[in-house]
Amino acid sequence: MSRVRLIALLVALGLLGVALWMSSGDRARAGRRGARGGTPRAPLTDEERSVWDARPLGVASRDEGPGAALVVSGRVEDRDGVPVSEGRLALECLPAGGSQGVPSPHGALELGVDGEFQGPGCRGTICASLVHTSMIQDEAWVLVSGRPALLIARQLGRQDGVVVDAEGAPVAGARLLVRPLPGEHDPTALPPFTSRSAVSDGEGYFSYARVERPPCDPCGEASGRCTIGDEREVPTYAQMLLIARAPGYRSAEVVVELDGDELWRVVMEEPAEPIHGRLVDEQGRPYPRARILARSSERAYEVHQAAVEDGAFELGELSDGAYDLRALQDGIELAAQAGVVAGANVELRGGLPAEGIALTLRIRDAGGAPLAGAVVDGGPFSGARSDANGELRADDVLPGAYDLQVRPPGRGPERHPVMVSDGEPELVAEIRLGGR
């Protein structure tokens, strides 16, 4: 393999790992990324779009003779003939004599409940890639316009594990997280699984689907991303840190090997003594909506939180070592204390008065009319809805700048800043939404 192709392959592999690791499932992005994932490419040019058929489905193709249609269709099954659903097909077109595959401008095709699909074809070679969290195609898929296809997929390889308590009893509902070991900086290694997290079942078992490189298709080879017949093994870390959290237990972390088939075993231990405390202002008054965040000084991933009720709080499910505490209300920091160990009793004094400002929001549409049923999040609001007069209210709001997200009925959210200044017992803020 030439040096250029090797570099291109490493880049493609890196993009694949990031896409699978961090994928949010956005349909439009998945369709544009195509077979290998990665960052979205630039918008298609008119010339690139022209290779795809923009006419209604069923119109005859001039490339394939009268009666033929530039339409791809078929179904996806596993090796046992069971339909594959809840996935998508990313299409890419390689024009005759072309050196670059062109992703479909129509986005990825959704698979139906019976694994069926149908979408636009193109004037060239059509490559299809399966976008699925637990399955992969076992060979390159090349579709032909006008010819229904039966595509066979298989399960990704898996890594299994079990979570138990100190007595060996299964722990259900434990949340597992895999991450690189501290100090791991191998630039050629990729995340090994399609997801960073898993949850143990009623028997304490959990499973991760392994990342596998899809087979190289003509579009990928022409674009320099891969070579047909290459090894499909994906380079990953040799070891990773497996972190487990479960209600009623302290956090557990285990260094696991990735080059074997052994069952991972995580043992959860009883938690350390909780941290008890009080949070009040300088006059001894409690805050109405305050919360306490506790982050381990040694394990940055370990974060606990607790609500403050009538000035009192309790942080449980702790491990050994010190924790850094922060007291927050509506995103405003009230107090902080570092180096607090399990079993301690602390008293935090907030630097702002607990008695704040009465804030009333008046939500208006683009024409200035009151808008009922708008949902507001951020600051002192959490899923609050405007009433018939387009209003909603929060008491004891602390001075500060708040970035509110307002979602009108039937439309996407808008962001609106609101500034609450000290000195006024009441504030009425009007938010006028756009006319989209």
In this predicted structure, what is the pLDDT of residue 224? 86
Tell me how far apart the alpha carbons of residues 64 and 149 are, in angstroms, rounded to a whole number. Answer: 17
In this predicted structure, what is the pLDDT of residue 424? 79
Contact 393, 360 (CB under 8 A): yes
List of residues 6+ apart from 140 with CB closer than 8 A: 127, 215, 216, 217, 218, 228
Tell me how far apart the alpha carbons of residues 56 and 50 are, in angstroms, rounded to a whole number. Answer: 14
The domain ranges of the chain are: 42-155, 158-214+229-268, 275-349, 357-432
CATH node for 158-214+229-268: 2.60.40.1120
In this predicted structure, what is the pLDDT of residue 27? 33
CATH of 42-155, one of 3.30.70.100, 2.60.120.370, 2.60.40.1120, 3.40.1190.20: 2.60.40.1120
Element (H or E) spanning 6, and its range? helix 3-22
Class of domain 357-432: mainly beta
Contact 137, 155 (CB under 8 A): no
Phi-psi region of 168 (alpha: psi -120 to 50; beta: other; left: phi over 0): left
Per-residue pLDDT of the chain (436 residues; tens, 9 = 90+): 444 344 344 434 444 443 444 343 333 333 333 333 334 456 667 666 777 864 433 333 334 444 345 899 999 999 999 999 889 999 999 988 777 888 998 889 999 999 999 998 888 899 999 999 889 998 999 999 889 999 999 999 999 999 999 999 999 999 999 998 887 777 777 778 888 999 999 999 999 999 888 899 999 998 888 888 776 667 788 889 999 999 999 999 999 998 878 999 999 999 999 999 999 999 999 999 999 999 999 988 899 999 999 999 999 999 999 999 999 999 999 999 999 999 999 999 999 999 999 999 999 999 999 999 999 999 999 999 999 999 999 999 999 999 999 999 988 899 999 999 887 789 999 999 986 5
Q: Does the structural domain 275-349 have CATH classification 3.40.50.170?
A: no
